[in-house]
Each structure stands twice: as structure tokens, then as C-alpha cells.
Amino acid sequence: MANELPVNCRTPAIAEYGGTTNLQEHLSYFENAALLHQYTDGIKCQVFVTTFTRAAQ
């Protein structure tokens, strides 16, 4: 992927998704945080997977 994470890139401060709660709600929280952090689509793809627990991956 051509989008490199900026040095100062922070993951959003949202609860991790473990597979037992509402995925749509988690996605909505992530989208709002990504908007706040001004993530590009490529960075969203890279960062979103970090919001899952190991069980949900």
C-alpha cells in the first residue's frame, strides 16, 4: 500500500472490538475518530485492523 503512516500518527482512542459486540457501532466510532484525525483511506485501512482484539482478527 502506498500510504505510509506519518511519524506522528496515533491510533484512535476507541475501545477494541473483540467480536462479541456490535461491529457496525465499532465501525461508526472508528469512522468518527478517523475523521477527527484526518486519516486518508489508505491509513484508515492500516489503522482499522489495529482496533480488533486478537480473537476478532
Distance (Å) of CA 5 to CA 26, 30, 41: 22, 17, 12
Please compute the mean of the pLDDT values over residues 7-26 and round it to a whole number.
90
Of 57 and 42, the structure prediction assigns the larger pLDDT to: 42
Those residues whose C-beta lies under 8 Å from the C-beta of residue 44, and which sit 6 or more positions away, are 30, 34
Q: Is the pTM of this model over 0.85?
A: no
Delimit the domains of the chain by residue range.
Answer: 23-56
Whether residue 3 contacts residue 42, with contact meaning beta carbons closer than 8 Å, is answered with yes
pLDDT at 44 over 60: yes
